[in-house]
Structure 1
Amino acid sequence: MKRTARLYALVEELRAAAPRPLTVAALASRFEVGARTVQRDLQALMETGVPVRSQSGRGGGWSIDPQMTLPPIHFTADEAAALTAALAAAGAATPYAGAARTAAQKIVASMAGPASAAAQELAARIVALQTHGDAAVRTAVERALAEGRVLRLSYNDAAGRTSERVVEPAGLLTAEGRWYLIAWCRTRRAGRGFRLDRIAAAAPTGERAQPHDLGELLVGSAGAGAVRPTVLGSLTAPPVTP
């Protein structure tokens, strides 16, 4: 079994046993590898954010919080190929691009035989013109949205003017290959759209943001007619004016 597939299988093995911990010896026997290999795999899972943890002492071992991971999802070969291709097209400046890459790897790793080869072959034929954004900015925006935190931005508008903004993130909008942070701007006291590649710096404040309805912030803007795809819930519409 390849390592990526084994990592995926390790998570599912821990999920199936949760909340009961499993010992390294038991996992090594299950996957027919050495204890050191299992230890390295578990450490790798921890480093990538998978909620696995160790418990020492009698009855201890490794366990996972099942509420922090998804149960197995059974895709058809066509569904898995479509997801792999879509995730492969995520550019470096796309929000959550890192998670998209690891998700694509897990999908391919969970498949076997011709289905896996077909998914990888299709993904190899998907190309995207990459745009480069500031990774630190993208990470700050991702975390602020996920955690509901206020952000302090240094923003360059279309005319090249720089301004400092304090914003309460509400969501993301994509239009014509660009990504926008939609937020309540405390500086302007109104909803605004900030093009991600024009955000020069983004710093979390640690302050909890007030919840804002994304649709209400878009009312009266060029993005007012934005619609949510039925499954993914992302937005596609003309950009809003900062």
Structure 2
Amino acid sequence: MARPSSVDRLVRLLALPAWVSEHQDATLEEAAAHFGVTRETICQDVNTLWVTGLPGGMPDDLVDFSTDALEQGRLRLSEPLGLDRPVRLSHREAVSLMLSLGVLTDLLTDDPEAADVLDQARRTLRHALGAATPAQDSAHRDAGTTGALPSVRRALAERRRLHLVYVSATDTRSERDVDPLELVSDGSHLTLRAWCLTARAERSFRLDRVLEAKVLDTPARAHRSSRKHNSHTTRVEATLVLKPTGRWLVEQIPCQQVHTERDGSLRVRVRGRDHAWLVGLVLSAGKHLITVEPAELAMEAGAAARRALRRDAAVYAYGGTPMRGAQPSTAKR
């Protein structure tokens, strides 16, 4: 028998008081049916919530349910400690969630039941945001991963080669042919793993950075990666010191070593496939970054950021919109 997920239980514990607040005197059986668990599990959750609350542990500091109602097999909330109030999202959080739902909708397009639930969630978010219309939402999706996704899916299904127009994290535009391997997601982005014929090695391409994806008539081939070549010629390392708010970065990339300092900052040693990848990582860290070693890496990332700012400022000065991947003719690398 599979062990119950601690994450699932935490989500249920947070949701239970809000549900009981809207369904006072609901039976234990009704609560169990709603959350998809047994009656005994709901009783265990109530017992856990009874000793959960604010520091001090006094009766007024703990989540409380009516004992009399519970003896009758019913749930009545007498002290929710704010857990009965809905979660409030900032505008940025709501927009991020909207974009994530768009990605999920594309991934689950063949599941009508899931698509209906996602569509309802997106409509609710659009209403909460107040400004986004269905047409605008569709435009946002088209500007993101959906343009490349159909071609990538087709290439994977038909085992065909792809021609990509891609913009790296350092805003470098390139064109290359790749043999796709798989489509993966970290919960925030869709990424294509593929064998790059230009680099003659396996590479990862974030779909929101793919400007164009064309399925070629050439069949995709199987390739054998030369691990010895990769480890000696392309792998480079760097040490980043991040603010506590930069932990998200540590959770998304493979790290050689992570050390938490007394002030909460993180000293992280990372290994990248090449120098350009490390420059992109430093740029991604943004305001969460404190220091970078080696110093040359910090200087190169800073120069790349300044070039991007100058390019954007020049475009805005002429009343235009910065174009992703456009390279100024005077840029020095």
Which band: TM-score by shorter chain?
0.3 to 0.5
From the two aligned structures, give the one with the greater helix fraction: 2
Kindly indicate whether structure 1 or structure 2 has the higher relative contact order, using CA contacts under 8 Å at least 6 residues apart: 1
Q: Of the two, which has the highest radius of gyration? A: 2
For normalisation by structure 2, the TM-score amounts to 0.31
For normalisation by structure 1, the TM-score amounts to 0.41
